């Protein structure tokens, strides 16, 4: 749905609407307050807001240049890195090697069938995604409800205002654009981020990271079914390697450490 907005308001405008409407929905739901929170807790909120802004803006910039399935595969280096970093088993090196092989299979297309800048944006989004996972886990421990996420989304909105306004211009006020932006915000941010927050209250970060393993495959199927983005056999094999590596890492992941309420 977000890609349908790119022609009118660009990736930056689409990200702004997504983040702004998600922030509004979460603020209305949780009614967060800055009072009663320590400076370290508020620092976590700001850092998560920066991670959210960077992750979504760089991912949409990449998605504007390369197919959805490939963008998510490159971005997946973030959660897979968290999964591997949090593990202590020698077999995890095997899964890391498989995932690296999948990424390498995609690399020959750079400069040819793939846009190098698009790949760079997707990889940058992966780095922010890793930060998002780690910071969301800490936010879940520091804030009892969804207050921390709501505040972080508000910070993210403020950070995205300049680029979003420049990219979207007057089309940001179009009723049709606003309607799609609201739907994207709920489906891509407000609802899934809330579920992920609750998941990270109960799971170790590395386990959560590998549970994201189906995203590249699902993204490729969505791109094929709804965006007419066909993939070559090499690209399908690359995505499969990343998914297999993630599933293998999940099978050998250490038990999550207990989290204090």
Q: Are 99 and 80 in contact (CB under 8 A)?
A: yes
Mean pLDDT of 102-113: 63
Please tell me the distance from the alpha carbon of residue 70 to that of residue 72, in angstroms, as a whole number: 5
Give the domain ranges of the chain: 2-251
pTM of the model: 0.84
Please tell me the distance from the alpha carbon of residue 170 to that of residue 238, in angstroms, as a whole number: 40
Average pLDDT over the chain reads: 86
Please tell me the distance from the alpha carbon of residue 253 to that of residue 256, in angstroms, as a whole number: 8
pLDDT of residue 213: 66
Query: Tens digit of pLDDT for each residue in 187-214?
Result: 999 999 999 999 999 887 877 776 776 6
Please tell me the distance from the alpha carbon of residue 73 to that of residue 79, in angstroms, as a whole number: 11
Give me the DSSP letters along 110-158: BTTTB-HHHHHHHHHHHHHHHHHHHHHHHHHHH-SSSHHHHHHHHHHHH
pLDDT of residue 24: 98
Query: Tens digit of pLDDT for each residue in 228-237?
Result: 888 788 778 8
pLDDT of residue 258: 47
pLDDT of residue 251: 67
Residue among 116, 70, 53 at smallest CA distance from 227: 70
pLDDT of residue 42: 96
pLDDT of residue 259: 44
Please tell me the distance from the alpha carbon of residue 240 to that of residue 26, in angstroms, as a whole number: 35
């Amino acid at each position: 749905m977000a890609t349908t907005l790119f022609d009118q308001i660009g990736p930056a405008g689409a990200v702004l609407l997504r983040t702004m409407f998600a922030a509004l929905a979460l603020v209305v739901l949780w009614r967060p307050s800055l009072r009663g929170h320590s400076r370290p807790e508020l620092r976590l909120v700001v850092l998560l807001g920066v991670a959210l802004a960077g992750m979504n803006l760089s991912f949409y910039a990449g998605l504007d240049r390369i197919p959805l399935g490939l963008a998510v595969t490159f971005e997946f280096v973030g959660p897979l890195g968290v999964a591997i970093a949090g593990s202590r088993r020698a077999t995890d090196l095997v899964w890391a090697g498989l995932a690296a092989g999948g990424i390498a299979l995609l690399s020959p297309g750079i400069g040819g069938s793939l846009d190098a800048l698009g790949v760079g944006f997707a990889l940058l989004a992966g780095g922010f995604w890793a930060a998002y996972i780690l910071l969301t886990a800490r936010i879940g421990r520091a804030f009892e409800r969804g207050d921390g996420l709501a505040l972080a989304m508000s910070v993210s909105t403020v950070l995205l205002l300049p680029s979003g306004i420049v990219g979207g211009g007057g089309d940001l006020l179009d009723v049709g654009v606003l309607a799609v932006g609201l739907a994207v915000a709920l489906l891509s941010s407000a609802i899934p981020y809330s579920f992920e927050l609750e998941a990270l209250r109960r799971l170790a970060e590395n386990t959560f990271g590998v549970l994201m393993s189906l995203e590249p495959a699902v993204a490729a199927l969505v791109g094929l079914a709804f965006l007419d983005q066909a993939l070559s056999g090499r690209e399908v094999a690359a995505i499969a390697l990343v998914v297999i590596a993630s599933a293998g890492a999940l099978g050998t992941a250490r038990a999550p450490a207990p989290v204090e309420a």
